[in-house]
Amino acid sequence: MSRIGKQPIDIPAGVTITVGDKEITVAGPKGQLIVPVQPQTTTKVEGTQIVVTRSGDEPKSRAWHGLQRALLNNAVKGVTKGYEKKLEINGVGFRLSGGGQEIEMALGFSHPVKYKAPEGVQLATNKMEITVSGIDKQKVGQVAAEIRSLKKPEPYKGKGIKYVDEVIIRKAGKAGKK
């Protein structure tokens, strides 16, 4: 058995789960998410838990088993608590403004950079910090990665956009003449 896949998922109060042939709908206080049904897996709601089982024991089947359980668990957490990632902008002359669905950044380019978030993801700004939040873990992570890729942190001075908990390994500058 998959160590991840065999663990049941507890369903919190206020969350409803509808299992269909092709997709599983998870609805909660923050919204609704649709999880596709992975091949060779069966999902059942038993009381206040979701149990995922698999049809065979071949490697592909074991992989789908763990994936299905992880996707369902992420959906249940998303519709109850939600997800958020924080990014930090470091650099002289760098500025940040906006919020909601669109932000505008001055990142040292000849023009301001505008970023519009997809539906279901909210952007909040606070001085030089961007908070990406939403109920879909994959979308939140993707948006945070796209914003970070606009100006990756450089290793000499650490200028750029980085995750708040990310550690930038610094390099020494030029060595002076002796």
Give pTM, 2 decimals: 0.89
Backbone torsions φ then ψ of 79, nearest 5 degrees:
-80, -15
- The rounded distance, in Å, linking the Cα atoms of 92 and 90 is 7
Six-digit token string for 146: 């796209």
- What b-and-e string marks burial along 39-63, b requiring 16 or more CB atoms within 10 Å of the CB? ebbebeeeeeebbbebeeeeeebbe
What is the per-residue pLDDT across 22-77, written as a single tens digit (0 to 9) for each?
999 999 999 999 999 988 999 999 989 999 999 888 989 888 999 999 999 999 99
pLDDT at 121 over 70: yes
Q: In angstroms, what CA-CA distances link 177 with 170, 171, 174?
A: 21, 18, 9
- Domains plus CATH for the chain? 9-80 (3.90.930.12), 83-163 (3.90.930.12)
Of the CA atoms within 13 Å of residue 177, those in its CB half-sphere come to 0
